[in-house]
Copies of this chain bind each other. A is one copy, B any other.
Amino acid sequence: MNDTGQFHLLAGLATGRETRSDDAIYQALWEAIVEHRLSPGARLPEDALAGAFGVSRTMIRRVLQRLALEQLVTLRAHRGAQITSPTPSEARDVFRARRLLEGALLAEVVTRLTPEDLKALTTIADQEHHASREQAIRLSARFHTRLMAVAGNASLSEALSQLISRTSLIIAVYGRHRAGCPCEHPALIDLLATGELAAIQHWMQQHLADIEASLDFTASGDALPDFEHLFGHHREPSAS
């Protein structure tokens, strides 16, 4: 019962001991990461995950490898997996990449946007508004992903989705005010309805710049962050 903290956390990912498919496990871990329930630096022991999801380490390893290729998890030989802590340099790269991609894709998005798309985006923005802050982070990512999917370029959408997920990690490490991101997405929906490309692109550039400006790169950086602080109080012996 040494790493009880982690175990409690991971146990919360699965409702009990029912077996899940690897896609479902990936989904659960992805959401936990994007919603900041698993913070950068958190270790992900294969046994604990296998127990929590009621499967063997085989599937866990497959999921971890996928998350590692998407840069959400860092895999070190013989040292296991942990949630990636993006470096300041990587963070800047991600934002530059997002500004470039989202700005360029918006041109295509505006020409192809249908009323159904607008409705779907409105639904997500509404959920975002009513959700807890944790879920709001995930829904915000979903909003951007859904918006850029309108452009109809699967190759770029997938690359962009990964960048959006990684943004959540960046905010987890360098975000200053947890209140942040009052999520002005409804304003963007209004703009989209007008179809004025220049204004929309300008809004998006500003949106991304605002998020980046709210970060504080002077803090720690790469070292294992607030893991102990977060889960230390779970460390009751609970001998048996």
Contact = CB atoms under 8 A, between A and B. Distances in A.
A183 interface: no
B65 A156 contact: no
B96 A100 contact: no
A67 to B, nearest CB: 11
Contact of A97 (B65, B66, B90, B156): B156
A167 to B, nearest CB: 11
A59 to B, nearest CB: 12
A218 interface: no
A209 interface: no
Interface residues of A, number: 20
B100 A156 contact: yes
A153 B97 contact: yes
Contact of A155 (B62, B93, B154): B93
A104 interface: yes
A63 to B, nearest CB: 10
A163 B81 CA distance: 27
Contacts of A32: none
A131 interface: no
Interface in A52-79: 62, 65-66, 69
A160 to B, nearest CB: 9
Nearest to A104: B100
B155 A94 contact: yes
Interface string A94-111: 101100110010000000
Contacts of A156: 93, 96-97, 100
A199 interface: no
A156 B162 CA distance: 11
A159 interface: yes
22 contacts: A62-B65, A65-B65, A65-B66, A69-B69, A90-B155, A93-B153, A93-B154, A93-B155, A94-B155, A96-B153, A96-B156, A97-B156, A97-B159, A100-B101, A100-B104, A100-B156, A101-B101, A104-B104, A155-B163, A155-B166, A159-B159, A159-B162
Q: Which 8 A-B pairs have the closest CB atoms?
A: A159-B159, A97-B155, A93-B155, A97-B156, A93-B153, A100-B104, A94-B155, A69-B69
